[in-house]
């Protein structure tokens, strides 16, 4: 966190409420997410260049037990889900968020 010109300090992220995290997810989906695709137990989210990590951090902070992990590159996030059934449900939630922001 920047505290003044040329000075920074580390700050531990506070535990956000589920509603706050979902609001943050809507904002980053609205601003950065372009496409959501999936196969088997994996979801791929395409973002604008340089924004995959920001979106992945919020997905990780949701703490969904079905999500085994995320890997973020420059403009792509790979999300590994524990089962295909859970993948379908989570993908639908993400697609609904994306469609409501368009």
Number of domains in the chain: 1
Selection from 57, 40, 45, 53 nearest residue 97 by Cα: 45
pLDDT, tens digit (0-9, with 9 covering 90-100), for 23-61: 989 999 999 999 999 999 999 999 999 999 999 999 999
Contacts of 7 (CB under 8 A, 6+ apart): none
Q: At what angle do helices 84-101 and 18-32 cross, to 10 degrees?
A: 70
What pLDDT, in 10s, does the model give residues 8-24? Answer: 776 665 677 778 888 98
Q: What is the CATH number of the domain that holds 88?
A: 3.30.1360.40
Confirm whether 70 is domain-assigned. Answer: yes
Q: Is residue 73 part of a domain?
A: yes
pTM over 0.85: no
Give the C-alpha separation, 23 to 32, whole Å. 14
Where are any strands of DSSP class E within the chain? Answer: 2-4, 7-8, 33-39, 42-47, 67-72, 76-81
């Amino acid at each position: 966190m920047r505290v003044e010109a040329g000075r920074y300090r580390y700050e531990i992220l506070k535990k956000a409420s589920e509603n706050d995290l979902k609001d943050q997810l809507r904002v980053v989906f609205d601003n950065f997410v372009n496409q959501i695709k999936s196969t088997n137990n994996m979801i791929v989210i395409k973002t604008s260049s340089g924004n995959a990590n920001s979106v992945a951090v919020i997905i990780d902070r949701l703490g969904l037990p079905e999500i085994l992990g995320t890997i973020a590159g420059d403009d792509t996030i790979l999300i590994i889900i524990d089962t295909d059934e859970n993948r379908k449900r989570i993908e639908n939630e993400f697609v609904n968020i994306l469609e409501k922001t368009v």
